[in-house]
Amino acid sequence: MMLERHIPLDGHETPYLYGVDCGIALAEALAARTGSADSVLLVADRKVAAHTAPLARQLSHHVKVETFGIDASETNKTMSLVQGIAESAISRGVNRSSLVIGMGGGMVGNVAGLTAALLFRGTGLIHLPTTPVAAFDSVVSVKQAVNLRGGKNLCGTYYAPSLIACDLRWLSTVPHEELFTGLSEMAKNVLAVLPGEEETLRGALSALPGERIGPLLQLFDIGVTAKEPFLRQDPRERREALIFEYGHTVGHALEFISGGSMKHGEAVAWGMLVAAEVSHSLGILGGEDLRSHYRIVDWLRLPDPRTRLGRFDRAELRAKLATDNKRGYIPCGRDEVAMVLLESLGGPLTGESGYPLVPVPQETVMAALETVTGHSWTERGGTIGEKEDARWKTSNLL
Ligand SMILES: NC(=O)c1ccc[n+]([C@@H]2O[C@H](COP(=O)([O-])OP(=O)(O)OC[C@H]3O[C@@H](n4cnc5c(N)ncnc54)[C@H](O)[C@@H]3O)[C@@H](O)[C@H]2O)c1
C-alpha cells in the first residue's frame, strides 16, 4: 500500500509518498524522479542499514549510488560533518546534477538537507525519514540546521526537498522508548494546534503496542494536518508557525546539555510541561488545561522526571536558555527567555510582535522546571514514576 499527500514547502507542493511495506515501490518511485542525475549521494544513518540496503540495491539498477554512513548524535550534528560529506561527495564524482538523499531520523535529515543546500549552491534533496520525529515532523519543514558549541540548530538555512518518502515499517526498529517519546511532537500538535484530536492520539498511542499500521497512519495524519495550513501561511516558520516551537525552548536546552543522552522527543515533552507550568504560574493557563498537559504527556510513557531532570546542572541550563535561537524573533532582556505559551489548548498567547512568542523571566522558567522535576504526578493527573519501569524497559514495540 502506498499513499501520497502533497505538502506545501516553500511555495511548492512537495509529494510525500508513504505506506507500510512499500520500500521497493518507493525505491522505484525515487528512481523515476532522479531525472538526469547520474548519481545520488545517499546520506544514511548507520543504524538503519537494514532498511537502506534493499532500497540502495533497487535504486542502483537506475543510477550510481554513493553511500555516506552517519553516526546520528547531537554532538555529531555539526558543520564539520556537513563539510566532510561534501568533500567525500566531490571525491566520489558527485556533480551538480546529483541528488542528495537523507535516510534516517531528524538529525540525518537536517545534515543531508544542509549539505544539499550548500553543495554546488544547491542540489536536489529527497528525505527518507526513519523515526517518528522525522516522519511526522522534521521533514515537514524547510528548516535545515546543525548545532554550534553555543547551542542547538544555530547554523543553517531554509531548503525544501523535492520528494519525501517513508515506509512506516522503517519505524519498526526504533527502540521502544524513543518511539514513544518521539511521538511527543504529535502530543505537541494536539496540545497547541489540534485539541480536537486528543482522542485520536490517545487511541493511536494505546493501540501501538499491538496494532501497527492504523495507529502510525493516524499519527502521520495528526503530524501533517496540523502543519499544512501553517506552512502555507508561513513557509519558513518565522511567524504563525512558531507555534510548533511549543516546548522547544526548554526542550532544546535539555537536549543540548544532555550531550545526546536525552533525545529530542523526550526533551520536548518535558519542555511542554515546563511551558504549561510557566503559563499556569503566570495566571494565563487554567488548571484543567494544565492537567490535560500531564494527561497527554503521560501517554508518552516518560521515565521518572526526578532522575531525568534532577541530574542537570542548573547553571548550565540557564546558560543554554540564554542562547536559545528564538531570542532574535522578539526583544528579550538579559534575564528573559523567548517562549511559546498557551492560554488554552490550541490557543497560543500572542506577544507584542503579533506572533506566538513572549518573553518570560528566566526565574519563572527555572521555578516551573523544579515543579515538573519534583511534582506530584497524581495531583496533576499523571502516573509517570509509578509504573514507568515496566513500560520503559520493554524492548521494541513493533
Ligand atoms: N524542523 C526541523 O528541522 C526539525 C524538527 C524536529 C526535530 N529536528 C531535529 O531532529 C533531530 C531529532 O530527530 P530524531 O528524534 O529522529 O533523532 P535522531 O535522528 O538523532 O535519531 C535518534 C536515534 O535513533 C536512531 N535511529 C534512527 N532511525 C532508526 C530506526 N529506524 N531504527 C533504529 N534506530 C534508528 C538514530 O541512529 C539515533 O540513535 C534533532 O536534531 C532535532 O533538532 C528538526
Q: Is 195 in the pocket of ligand 1 (CB under 6 A)?
A: no
Q: What is the pLDDT of residues 92-131, one digit of tens each?
A: 999 999 999 999 999 999 999 999 999 999 999 999 999 9
Residue given cell 554512513 in the structure block = 69
CB 164 within 8 A of CB 231: no
How confident is the model at residue 178, as a pLDDT?
Answer: 82
Q: Which three cell numbers stand for residue 12?
A: 511548492
Pairing status of strand 64-70 against strand 143-148: unpaired
What number of CA atoms fall less than 13 Å from residue 124's CA on the CB side? 22
Q: Which three cell numbers stand for residue 141?
A: 519543514
User: How far is it, in rounded angstroms, from Cα 330 to Cα 358?
Assistant: 7
Pocket test for ligand 1, best of 48, 131, 249, 262 (most atoms within 8 A of CB): 131
Nearest CA to ligand 1 atom 34: 174
User: How far is it, in rounded angstroms, from Cα 1 to Cα 3?
Assistant: 7
Helix-strand-coil percent breakdown of the chain, rounded to 5? 50, 20, 30
CB 128 within 8 A of CB 118: no
Q: Is 277 exposed, middle or buried (0-12, 13-18, 19+ CB in 10 A)?
A: buried
Of 254, 251, 253, 243, residue with least CA distance to 190: 243
Size of the chain in residues: 398
Q: Is 251 in the pocket of ligand 1 (CB under 6 A)?
A: no
How confident is residue 353, by pLDDT bands cut at 50, 70 and 90? Answer: confident
In ligand 1, the atom with minimum distance to the C-alpha of 73 is 20
Q: Which three cell numbers stand for residue 23?
A: 520500500
How confident is residue 376, by pLDDT bands cut at 50, 70 and 90? Answer: low
Q: Is 52 in the pocket of ligand 1 (CB under 6 A)?
A: no
Query: What is the CA angle 106-261-143, rounded to 5?
Result: 25
For residue 383, pLDDT over 80 is answered with no
Distance 131 CA to ligand 1 centre (A): 6
Mean pLDDT of 49-72: 96
Q: Which helix (H) or strand (E) holds 156?
A: strand 151-158
Distance 59 CA to ligand 1 centre (A): 24
CB atoms within 10 A of CB 329: 16
In ligand 1, the atom with minimum distance to the C-alpha of 141 is 1
User: How far is it, in rounded angstroms, from Cα 56 to Cα 31?
Assistant: 10
- Return the sign of the alpha-carbon dihedral for residues 123, 124, 129, 133: positive
Distance 172 CA to ligand 1 centre (A): 14
Nearest CA to ligand 1 atom 7: 138
Pairing status of strand 99-104 against strand 336-339: unpaired
Mean pLDDT of 323-345: 91
Distance 310 CA to ligand 1 centre (A): 24
Instruction: Find the Cα–Cα–Cα–Cα dihedral 137, 140, 141, 145, rounded to 10°.
Output: 60
Using left for φ > 0, alpha for ψ between -120 and 50, and beta otherwise, residue 3 falls in beta
How confident is residue 35, by pLDDT bands cut at 50, 70 and 90? Answer: confident
Nearest CA to ligand 1 atom 16: 105
Q: Is 104 in the pocket of ligand 1 (CB under 6 A)?
A: yes
User: How far is it, in rounded angstroms, from Cα 344 to Cα 354?
Assistant: 17
Domains of the chain: 2-173 (3.40.50.1970), 176-393 (1.20.1090.10)
User: How far is it, in rounded angstroms, from Cα 150 to Cα 135?
Assistant: 27
Q: What is the pLDDT of residues 335-351, one digit of tens each?
A: 999 999 999 999 999 99
Q: Is 105 exposed, middle or buried (0-12, 13-18, 19+ CB in 10 A)?
A: buried
Distance 106 CA to ligand 1 centre (A): 4
Q: Is 320 in the pocket of ligand 1 (CB under 6 A)?
A: no
Q: What percent of the chain has pLDDT over 90?
A: 79
User: How far is it, in rounded angstroms, from Cα 49 to Cα 53?
Assistant: 6
Distance 133 CA to ligand 1 centre (A): 6
Choice among 164-168, 270-274, 392-396 with the minimum mean pLDDT: 392-396
Nearest CA to ligand 1 atom 44: 138
What's the mean pLDDT when you consider all of the chain? 91
Distance 264 CA to ligand 1 centre (A): 7
How confident is residue 209, by pLDDT bands cut at 50, 70 and 90? Answer: low
How confident is the model at residue 172, as a pLDDT?
Answer: 85
How confident is the model at residue 387, as a pLDDT?
Answer: 41
Q: Is 189 in the pocket of ligand 1 (CB under 6 A)?
A: no
Q: What percent of the chain has pLDDT over 70?
A: 93
Residues with Cβ within 8 Å of residue 46, at least 6 apart in sequence: 69, 70, 71, 72
Residue given cell 497547541 in the structure block = 192
How confident is the model at residue 275, as a pLDDT?
Answer: 98
Question: Which DSSP state fits 138?
Answer: I
For residue 333, pLDDT over 50 is answered with yes
User: How far is it, in rounded angstroms, from Cα 76 to Cα 146?
Assistant: 9
User: How far is it, in rounded angstroms, from Cα 106 to Cα 102?
Assistant: 9
Pocket test for ligand 1, best of 110, 114, 155 (most atoms within 8 A of CB): 110
In ligand 1, the atom with minimum distance to the C-alpha of 153 is 43
How confident is the model at residue 73, as a pLDDT?
Answer: 93
Q: Which three cell numbers stand for residue 168?
A: 512506516
Residues with Cβ within 8 Å of residue 398, at least 6 apart in sequence: 171, 172, 179, 208, 212
Of 267, 11, 302, 21, residue with least CA distance to 142: 11
Q: Is 105 in the pocket of ligand 1 (CB under 6 A)?
A: yes
Residues with a catalytic annotation lie at 143, 245
Nearest CA to ligand 1 atom 36: 72
Q: What is the pLDDT of residues 162-196, one digit of tens each?
A: 999 999 999 988 888 788 888 999 999 999 999 99
User: How far is it, in rounded angstroms, from Cα 381 to Cα 288?
Assistant: 10
